[in-house]
């Protein structure tokens, strides 16, 4: 059974290309390896990246660690732009906020 869904949309604006990766479903330890693999596969395909998590049914620290590690390494090693947007239900936002983790919502 698939834990999460993954969609990529390429956008061009004023000569700059942005990939928007939308992740939905359960973003937990069970899907962590596949999420990491999907992000690694697109590393050379963008100048700017938006990771948009929405329609989330579950989230845990493994997902946060993966996207933060990915974001930091892309900025550090490739000098590319990575933006993370999480449109989470209130209870999940509160859980992350209580842990000191905040991301903009849409």
pLDDT tens-digit map of 11-51: 887 778 899 999 999 999 999 999 999 999 998 888 899 99
pLDDT of residue 23: 96
CB 84 within 8 A of CB 49: no
Q: Is residue 34 part of a domain?
A: yes
pLDDT of residue 35: 92
Tell me the CATH number at 33: 3.30.750.24
Specify the pTM.
0.86
Question: Residue 33 corresponds to which tokens in the numbers above?
Answer: 């390896």
Range of the domain at 51: 4-98
Q: How many domains does the chain have?
A: 1
pLDDT of residue 105: 64
> In the chain, what are the helix, strand and coil shares in percent, each to the nearest 5?
40, 40, 25
Q: Is residue 86 part of a domain?
A: yes
Q: Is residue 50 part of a domain?
A: yes
**Cα dihedral 48, 54, 60, 62 sign:** negative
């Amino acid at each position: 059974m698939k834990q999460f869904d993954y969609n990529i949309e390429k956008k061009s604006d004023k000569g700059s290309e942005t990939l928007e990766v939308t992740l939905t479903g359960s973003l937990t330890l069970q899907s962590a390896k596949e999420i990491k693999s999907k992000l690694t596969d697109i590393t050379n395909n963008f100048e700017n990246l938006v990771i948009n998590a929405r329609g989330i049914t579950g989230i845990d620290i493994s997902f946060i660690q993966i996207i933060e590690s990915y974001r930091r390494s892309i900025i550090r090693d490739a000098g590319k732009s990575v933006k993370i947007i999480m449109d989470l239900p209130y209870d999940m936002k509160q859980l992350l906020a209580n842990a000191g983790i905040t991301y903009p919502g849409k």
